[in-house]
Homo-oligomer: A and B are copies of this chain.
C-alpha cells in the first residue's frame, strides 16, 4: 500500500477491466485498484448507474472491497440526471480517491452521467487530484470518447454491424470492447476499426485489466490479454460495399498484450527503448495527459 507522500505524487490511473474480474478469491485487479487509489484508507465510490440491478451490484462490491480492508467505500446511487447533478453526490466524487464503475449497459450509464456535474467531477478527480478511475464491462466501454454503443457479434466483420456513441472521454482515439476473447469479439472490433480507422480498437479479456498511468505508461493485469487493433494504415473497400457485406481489410496491425506486459514511456533524459511505431503511438495516445475531446 502506498504511503501518504506517495499518494500526493499520484499521476492518475485508469483501470479498464474486461468484465468478470475476480471478486472473491485473489482479487488481483481490485487489489491493484485499491493500491492505485492510495490504499485501504482511501475513499472509494462505486457507480452502479450502468446497471438496472444497482443494489445487487453494490452488494457484490461492498463485500469485495470490505474483504480487501477498505472501510471508506460508498454506493453512489444514480437513478437519473438529477442525481448526477446533486451537490452532495458530486462532492463525494470530487473527493474520492477511487471511483469504480460497474457493468450493465454503457448507454444507460452515459444517459444518466454524461455531461453532468458528476461527469466533470470525475475528470477533475483524475486530472487534478490523481484519483484512480476503474470501470468493468460496460464501465470499461464507457471510458473512451467514442464508445461502442452496440454491435452484432458475427463471425466476420460487417459494414454497419456496430454503432458508436459519446462516452465519458477519459481516453481518446480508441474504442474499448470487453469480454473480448470469451465472447469472440474480434470480428466486431474489426468492424469498428474498418468503419473508423482513426480509432484504435482495444479488446480486453475477462478478469483482465488495462491499467493506464497518465503521462507514464500502461500495464496488463489479470488472467487474459489485451488485443490492440490498429487500422490506421490499412487498405479497405469499406466505403464501396453494401450494408452487411464483409469488407476487405489489408494490413491491419494486431498486438496481443498478455497479462504481465508493461510498456512505459522513457523518463526525462532516458533514451527511448526500441518499440514498434504502432505500439508507441498507442502508448503515447492512451497515456496523454490532456487528450483531445
Contact = CB atoms under 8 A, between A and B. Distances in A.
Interface of A: 155-157, 181-182, 184, 186-187, 190, 205, 224-225, 235, 245-259, 261, 276, 278-279
10 contacts: A156-B181, A235-B276, A246-B258, A247-B256, A247-B258, A248-B258, A250-B279, A252-B253, A252-B254, A253-B254
Nearest to A277: B251
B251 A279 contact: yes
A254 B256 contact: no
A187 B227 CA distance: 11
A275 B184 CA distance: 30
Given A156-B256, A235-B276, 4 more contacts: A156-B181, A246-B256, A247-B256, A253-B253
A224 B224 CA distance: 28
A184, A190, A251, A257 — which one has the most chain B CB atoms within 10 A of its CB?
Answer: A251
A156, A255, A259 — which one has the most chain B CB atoms within 10 A of its CB?
Answer: A156
B255 A252 contact: yes
Contact of A256 (B190, B245, B257): B190
Contact of A251 (B184, B235, B253): B253
A182 B155 contact: yes
Contact of A225 (B246, B255, B258, B261): B246
Contact of A155 (B224, B246, B253, B254): B224
B251 A157 contact: no
B254 A254 contact: yes
Contacts of A257: 248
